[in-house]
């Protein structure tokens, strides 16, 4: 298996981010590329691109920045919902983001609990941020008592945030607060702080979403953090060609995640919509993924039936 570029301890964070945005993840991805090509694609100077090539061609061995504990971690997280694993291409890769959107009554909360289970069973810390009073520490532990074969209650850190300033402060401090054992971040109802500030100027909204995107990208790339977010749904108007429209000019209305894709780093994110047919059946639609473009069709869809408890 090819070594990840992001375990090369000599790479500065800015270069790591540029690599991720350009779609490079492993040492093999750089094989055969010239310094001039990398310089142009990453927007860095020739000297830095040559240093990058030299660093990634170093003799094999355990990188000093990679702990023994990290070597034993699973790289693909498979949940207890086969349709979810299938539409994600086998599971959720570590160090990536999954946005789950769906109407009330969908199983998005149960899916979040299952990802929490995966990490606590592996003795990894989970940070659970609730932004709409949708759950509580007692409810989380109650769910894990039913789902997990074993877990340590101290592995779950619960935080409740309600305002946009609270969320932005949390994101500002996130990277410095992460521990080596932190494996998963849950951002539950991340759209709520924005919907509770309807008077927020568009420029400040855009800047806030961009700040969140940059923090999430750095957490995934430099900390190998896996992130799951949940979002409310909203009605979006589209033109016949699929582009955004207004209620006056739109040709059709669709239900889409409320925040849109701006806060998510495209090279690391999966956007999943749960479509209900009944309380126990429906379809999963993959709106976008790291390897694909934003979709408005149903080309990636999986039907699901929930097992009766």
Please name which of 174, 181, 260 lies closest in space to residue 214, comparing C-alpha atoms.
Answer: 174
pLDDT of residue 210: 94
Residue 126 has pLDDT above 90, yes or no: yes
Sign for the CA dihedral angle at 174, 178, 121, 151 comes to negative
d(CA 15, CA 309): 48
Mean pLDDT of the chain: 83
pLDDT at position 28 is 66
User: What was the pLDDT predicted at 238?
Assistant: 74
Rounded CA-CA distance 276/108 in Å is 11
What are the residue ranges of helices labelled H in the chain?
Answer: 13-22, 35-42, 46-56, 68-71, 82-87, 108-121, 137-147, 164-177, 192-195, 202-223
In this predicted model, what pLDDT tens digit does every residue of 160-217 receive, in sequence order?
Answer: 998 999 999 999 999 999 999 999 999 999 999 998 888 899 999 999 999 999 999 9
Exposure of 206 in the CB half-sphere (CA atoms within 13 A):
3
* 297: pLDDT strictly greater than 60: no
Q: Is the Cβ–Cβ distance between 116 and 150 less than 8 Å?
A: no
At 183, phi and psi to the nearest 5?
-110, -30
Contact predicate 73/246, CB 8 Å = no
Work out the angle at residue 101's Cα, subtended by the Cα atoms of residues 241 and 302, and round it to the nearest 5 degrees: 75
- Model confidence band, residue 100 (pLDDT cutoffs 50, 70, 90): very high
Q: Which helix (H) or strand (E) element contains residue 188?
A: strand 182-188
How many Å apart are CA 192 and CA 164, to the nearest integer? 9
b/e burial code for range 271-285 (CB count within 10 A of at least 16 → b): bbbbbeeeeeebbbb
- Asked which of 54-63, 80-89, 174-183 is least confident by mean pLDDT, the reply is 54-63
Q: Which two tokens stand for residue 59?
A: 């003799």
Residue pair 151/144 in contact by the 8 Å Cβ criterion: yes
* 6-10, 54-58, 125-129, 201-205: segment of lowest average pLDDT: 6-10
Strands 226-231 and 182-188: parallel
How does residue 71 score in pLDDT terms, banded at 50, 70 and 90?
very low
**pLDDT (tens digit, 9 = 90+) per residue, 214-249?**
999 999 988 999 999 999 877 777 788 777 777 777
- Copy the structure tokens of residue 185: 């971040």
pLDDT digits (tens, 9 = 90+) for 17-56: 777 777 777 766 676 677 777 777 777 777 677 777 766 6
């Amino acid at each position: 298996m090819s070594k990840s570029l992001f375990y090369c301890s000599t790479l500065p964070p800015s270069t790591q981010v540029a690599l991720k945005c350009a779609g490079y993840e492993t040492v093999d991805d750089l094989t055969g590329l010239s310094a001039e090509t990398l310089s142009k694609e990453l927007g860095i100077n020739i000297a830095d691109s040559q240093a990058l090539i030299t660093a990634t061609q170093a003799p094999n061995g355990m990188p000093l920045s990679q702990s023994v504990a990290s070597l034993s971690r699973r790289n693909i997280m498979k949940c207890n919902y086969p349709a979810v694993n299938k539409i994600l291409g086998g599971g959720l890769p570590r160090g990536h983001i999954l946005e789950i959107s769906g109407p009330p009554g969908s199983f998005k909360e149960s899916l979040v609990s299952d990802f929490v289970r995966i990490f606590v069973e592996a003795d990894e810390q989970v940070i659970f941020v609730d932004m709409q009073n949708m759950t509580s520490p007692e409810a989380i532990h109650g769910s894990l008592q039913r789902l997990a074969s074993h877990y340590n209650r101290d592995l779950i850190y619960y935080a409740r945030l309600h305002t946009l300033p609270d969320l932005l402060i949390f994101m500002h401090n996130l990277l410095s607060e992460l521990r080596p054992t932190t494996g998963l971040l849950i951002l539950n109802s991340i759209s709520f702080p924005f919907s509770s500030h309807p008077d927020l100027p568009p420029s400040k909204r855009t800047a806030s979403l961009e700040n969140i995107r940059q923090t999430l990208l750095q957490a995934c790339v430099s900390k190998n953090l896996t992130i799951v977010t949940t979002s409310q749904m909203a009605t979006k108007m589209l033109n016949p060609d699929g582009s955004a429209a207004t209620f006056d000019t739109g040709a059709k209305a669709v239900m889409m995640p409320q925040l849109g894709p701006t806060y998510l780093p495209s090279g690391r994110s999966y956007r999943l919509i749960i479509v209900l047919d009944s309380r126990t059946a429906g379809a999963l639609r993959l709106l976008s993924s790291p390897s694909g473009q934003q979709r408005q069709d149903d080309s990636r869809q999986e039907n699901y039936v929930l097992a009766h408890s």
